[in-house]
Amino acid sequence: MKKILLIIPLLIGCSIAKKKSEYQRLFDYEGKYEYVNNTTLKLTASAMDTTLYAVIDHAKYPLKFIAIDSFTNMQGNAVIFERGNSKKVISYKSEGQIFKLLTKDIDKSDMFPRKELFDTPENYEYKQPPETDDGLATGHLAAEFKNHKRIIDMVKETIKGTFPDVHSILIYKNNKLVLEEYFYGYDENTPHQLRSATKPFIGGILGIAVDQGFIKSEKDGLLPYFSARYPKIANFDKRKKEITIEDFLRYRHGMDCENNNPESKGNESKMMQSKDWVKYTLDLPMVREPGMASSYCTGCALTLGSLVAIATDKKIEDFAKQNLFEPLNITNYKWTFEPNQTSSDHFSQAYFTPRDLIKLAKLFKDGGTWNANQIISKSWIDKTFNMDKGDYGYLWEHKYFVVDGQTYNSYLASGNGGQKINIWPELDMITVFTGGNYNSYQLYGKSTPPNEMIPNYILKSVK
């Protein structure tokens, strides 16, 4: 028996040593490299899963190890590293292009949730979010949650790596910010990409355009607004003529457009291969009467963003800055709305800090008011959230969880990678998650961490 007991630690030790060796082997490829369109990317190894990642615009994309100096990227394309006379890596080749190594000096903080606590997550101590001049009051977690320690456990599990690539967790309860935590090198001053979580705010901006009379009503027909820009629309028939602005707001367009169906002609990936994404969307064939059934379609939100620009004769970014962002004192953000191939790197998405996402969600939660100023009409907000269970309102989604037999309803703005902005009207609560689990379901068949963290930790903590 003693011999067997001695062998087990030896096997464990060998396993750890092998994993460490595999991790260290990846150091050869780390560094800052040239990338497409005169940009750069960072390649860095993760000790958490012994994987080499390409980091582009703070987003991590895994490379699959095939053999020495040979990997494949997420699209299945070969990534082959080349070495110089010194046997050190000097470049990599992919899809016929060569990208040179620029420097080995890189920051690896984005490989750890909290590097200083990675080995001792139990040492994490909760702190009440600080008061700043952004207009958000703060409070203590214990005062607003029945079992606040469960939420603290959630943060510790995130630090451990149980919930990988969660970049921020914020909870706003009873008009107080009670939790504000950042991971993987992010902080309160870093605007985070929203991906499709940008779309619901386009709905709010369009509402302001209606409130101000630039658009008579969301009941208006959609196509007449685009007649000057696109005099000829393909697949035109009686059904397409009847599409209203509201049909696009509710994703009840009736067209062959479904993001989750790779066979759909309006699938997002197919749309993005076209030169003009709005024209591509409006040209799609009809498959049913508009206004009948919802079908999630990226082209709808992009078309509505272009509608705001046409109706107001301003870029939607400029109209939003004047009428939405500046009234909320939101200044630290990025947004370039170009629904065409010039946006192939950023997809026309917005970047906001998580605290500003709380402010935007609070505006919707409070009926369109901020500091007693009516930014969006209450009637538009009411229509925005007038949605069937599990369906869509004005570009927002109804998301609900059933926990211990209790149903918890929310209005959700969601984006690829784990961007989750939930308004919980019955709980007087807003939760914000940002993350980097891009294409997690397609790659790993798993949903993003917030879908587990919200019901198992936050909702089980409420009073």
Alpha-carbon gap, residue 260 to 268, rounded angstroms: 9
Alpha-carbon gap, residue 355 to 333, rounded angstroms: 11
Q: In what helix (H) or strand (E) does residue 436 lie, and over which residues does it extend?
A: none
For 4, residues 6+ apart whose C-beta sits below 8 A from its C-beta are none
- Is the domain 192-458 a CATH 3.40.710.10 member? yes
pLDDT the model gives residue 5:
44
For 358, residues 6+ apart whose C-beta sits below 8 A from its C-beta are 136, 170, 172, 177, 430, 432
pLDDT the model gives residue 21:
83
pLDDT the model gives residue 3:
44
Alpha-carbon gap, residue 44 to 62, rounded angstroms: 10
Helices and strands in the chain: count of H runs, count of E runs? 14, 19
pLDDT the model gives residue 446:
72
Q: Which CATH class is domain 2-110?
A: mainly beta
Span 277-296, average pLDDT = 98
Domain positions in the chain? 2-110, 192-458
Q: CB count, 10 Å around CB of 336?
A: 14
Kindly report the three-state secondary structure assignment for every residue of 86-120. Answer: CCCEEEEEECCEEEEEEECCCCCHHHCCCHHHCCC
> pLDDT tens, 188-221?
999 999 999 999 999 999 999 999 999 999 999 9
Give the DSSP letter string of 111-155. GSS-GGGTT-GGG----PPPP-SSS--B--HHHH-TTHHHHHHHH
Task: Determine contact, residues 168/186, Cβ cutoff 8 Å.
Answer: yes
Length reported for the chain: 463
Sheet arrangement for strand 192-193: 192-193, 350-352, 333-335
Residue 458, φ and ψ in degrees, nearest 5: -70, -50
pTM for the predicted model, two decimal places: 0.92
> pLDDT tens, 301-333?
999 999 999 999 999 999 999 999 999 999 999
> pLDDT tens, 151-172?
999 999 999 999 999 999 999 9
Q: How far is CA 374 from CA 206, 318, 365, 424, in A?
A: 15, 19, 13, 21
